[in-house]
């Protein structure tokens, strides 16, 4: 097993929950202190996010939690994925709105809108910011609730707005839950 920042790469065997049919092996990174026996992927859910500015961070935590609740997931992992090349998702402080402003201020300083970019569409800075922040996050679910720190929230990051965007959610269900 390979070690990576305190995580261990493991191979898990995934079964379809409806018939117990073998669905393949998947390699994932897992915390060695977090005991989990994965059973199945739950249906993909898609959130729509309408942004209002060229760059903005939109808190989607409550919407993701609502989908966890409506899917009936008690224990597992929620994968949040943004299928856009000029948008991203991150987890950061949600209590103080100035944190969002500070993050955007520094990203805009690091990757200015006016520079000698070669991409003809004129949105190279959005592609670069998306790459720096990342397209996905994995959040634990325990007792039907997202496992986030007291001040943490999930943010959709718009870097080429305003637009209407999609956020995909997928749940990995703990085998102990599906056996109930």
Domains of the chain: 1-35 (no CATH), 42-171 (2.60.120.460)
The reported pLDDT for the residue numbered 52 is 98
Closest C-alpha to 78, from 109, 50, 44 = 44
Cis status, amide bond into 164, omega within 30 of 0: no
Give the DSSP H/E element, type plus range, for residue 125.
Answer: helix 124-133
Q: How far is CA 64 from CA 17, 30, 140, 142, 146, in A?
A: 22, 22, 12, 14, 8
Contact by Cβ (8 Å): 92, 152: yes
Give the DSSP H/E element, type plus range, for residue 170.
Answer: strand 164-174
Q: Is the pTM of this model over 0.85?
A: no
Contact by Cβ (8 Å): 173, 38: yes
28 exposed, middle or buried (CB, 10 Å; 0-12, 13-18, 19+)? middle
Closest C-alpha to 49, from 30, 36, 62 = 62
- pLDDT tens per residue, range 107-148: 999 999 999 999 999 999 999 999 999 999 999 999 999 999
Residues in the chain predicted with pLDDT less than 50, given as ranges, are 1-34
The reported pLDDT for the residue numbered 13 is 42
User: What is the chain's alpha carbon radius of gyration, rounded to the nearest angstrom?
Assistant: 18
CB proximity list for 63: less than 8 A, separation 6 or greater: 47
**Which residues are 62's β-sheet partners?**
none
């Amino acid at each position: 097993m390979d070690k990576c920042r305190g995580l261990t790469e493991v191979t898990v065997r995934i079964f379809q929950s409806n018939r117990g049919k073998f669905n393949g092996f998947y390699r994932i990174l897992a915390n060695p202190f977090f005991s989990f026996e994965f059973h199945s992927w739950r249906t993909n859910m898609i959130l729509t996010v309408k942004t209002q500015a060229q760059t903005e961070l939109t808190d989607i935590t409550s919407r993701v939690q609502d989908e966890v609740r409506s899917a009936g997931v008690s224990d597992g992992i929620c994968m949040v994925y943004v299928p856009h090349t000029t948008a991203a998702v991150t987890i950061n402080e949600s209590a103080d709105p100035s944190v969002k402003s500070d993050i955007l201020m520094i990203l805009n300083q690091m990757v200015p809108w006016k520079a000698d970019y070669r991409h003809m569409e004129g949105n190279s800075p959005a592609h670069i910011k998306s790459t720096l922040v990342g397209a996905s996050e994995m959040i634990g679910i325990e007792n039907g609730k997202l496992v986030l720190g007291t001040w943490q929230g999930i943010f959709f990051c718009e870097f080429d707005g305003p637009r209407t965007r999609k956020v995909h959610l997928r749940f990995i269900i703990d085998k102990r839950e599906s056996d109930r």
